[in-house]
Amino acid sequence: MRAKRIAILDWDTMAYNKDEVNARRFAALAENVDVYPSTKPEETVQHIGDADVVICNKVLITREVMEACPNIKYIGILATGYNNVDIEAATERGIPVCNAGSYSTDAVTQLVFAYIFDYFQRVALYAMDVRLGVWETAPAFSYFPYPTGELRGKTLGIIGYGNIGKNVAKIAEAFGMSVLIATRTLPQVCPYPVVTAEEVFRRADVLTLHCPLTEQTKGLINKQTLALMKETAILINTSRGGTVVEADLADALNHDMLAGAYLDVLEKEPMSPDTPLKGAKNCVITPHIGWTPLDTRKRLLDITEDNLRGWLGGNPQHVVNGVSGS
């Protein structure tokens, strides 16, 4: 079985360098494939048109879009998160929504520890001083005005215990860190203490978020929860920007209520020029790069293609809304 038409709505999110990856792989799965570099909200219905298969990363697929495009039979998400799709509306219409869960586990874990090492080792800061000739004028053989620290004995608090949270915990343990877990769904097997979110906030030296954006997690990092944290703690967010109230975090950083924050996601992306975090004290922001290693994006495309093949063959996989489709 082949699809009649596949509409890929935001290919530019997958290929910054146009030669890295391409969409030709989907040609064998449909009579026609239309690839759009990007899709503005007002273009979504037009770009989908009569397509029975929609593949996208961040384009909003709302109830109104589905109603205006009644031929949609399958939605494939080029990501783990699927909060850009109205899941209730898709389920009502019998449309399976398939994501690419766990494709970026290693890449995001890697970024989390890049942040941790940046804070505790200060490699970039010291290397810059060396480049500027500061070490050459030091009074002793070793120059260390910026404090560093060992990971062993530090407490890593993890909110969310999915694939990434588990991977981060395993590596933290290898460095001798104590791990605390807070998660909505109590894991059947967990080698680490599972505690309340409040306890994680209070005890963590490093707090890292690995939870989806839901009604329960929206604004999770706010004035009240930040007040629970140690002044010496750092916050890491590689999950979703909406889990953080940005004004509250900026205020906490600027008033030394928190030692630092490392963020790969913001509520509005690309970053708004007026985000309060742009000039916040001890705030490091990267432009949503956790998932972008080439190996990772190739894996993402493999999973997305396999998901579609499975659905076309009557065996859908990675279905997030429990709909098998027809």
Q: Which residues are catalytic?
A: 240, 269, 288
Q: How far is 183 from 185, CA to CA, in rounded Å?
A: 6
Contacts of the segment 17-23: beta carbons below 8 A, 24+ positions apart: 20/294, 20/297, 21/294, 21/297, 21/298, 21/301
Q: How far is 213 from 207, CA to CA, in rounded Å?
A: 17
> What would the 3-class secondary structure string for 121-170 be?
HCHHHHHHHHHCCCHHHCCCCCCCCCCCCCCCCCEEEEECCCHHHHHHHH
Nearest Cα residue to 38 out of 69, 66, 15? 15
CA 232 to centroid of chain Cα atoms? 25
